[in-house]
Amino acid sequence: ETGVTQTPRHLVMGMTNKKSLKCEQHLGHNAMYWYKQSAKKPLELMFVYSLEERVENNSVPSRFSPECPNSSHLFLHLHTLQPEDSALYLCASSRTGDIAYGYTFGSGTRLTVV
């Protein structure tokens, strides 16, 4: 499989649930990102991992917890979410330091918190 793969595609969870989003890339990239996109809003950068080290955390609430076990995999662990966290969560990857190419995005996980 090639590109950036995200699972699940859709997720409905209650506010007391714990779930995880998964992202996997087969492009040989070494930087991975989590973005949030609420309805009709711009992309919001949440977390950045470069060479498996978290290099950016944009004031994201602690109910979102990222994990990057290796350069090909990225997780977003979710717990005690709020209804306003319902959004499209997008994973992206790139090569660290190489700005000649843009990001490659996964198809996203559409999350609904009930």
Partner 1 sequence: RKEVEQDPGPFNVPEGATVAFNCTYSNSASQSFFWYRQDCRKEPKLLMSVYSSGNEDGRFTAQLNRASQYISLLIRDSKLSDSATYLCVVGSYGQNFVFGPGTRLSVLP
Q: Which 88-107 residues touch partner 1, going by CB under 8 A?
A: 88, 90, 94, 97, 99-100, 102-107
Using the minimum distance from each CB to partner 1, give the nearer residue, 58 or 82: 58
What span, in angstroms and rounded, lies between the C-alpha atoms of 18 and 74? 17
In this structure, what DSSP letter does residue 98 have?
-
Closest CA to 80 of 22, 13, 25: 13
Does residue number 108 form part of the binding site for partner 1 (CB under 8 A)?
yes
Smallest separation, CB 92 to partner 1 (Å): 8
Q: Binding residue for partner 1 (CB under 8 A) from 42, 53, 83, 84?
A: 42
H/E stretch holding 15: none
Asked if the peptide bond before residue 42 counts as cis, ω within 30 degrees of 0, the response is no
Q: Which residue has the tokens 């090569």?
A: 95
- Binding region for partner 1 (CB under 8 A): 33, 42-43, 45, 48, 56, 88, 90, 94, 97, 99-100, 102-108, 110
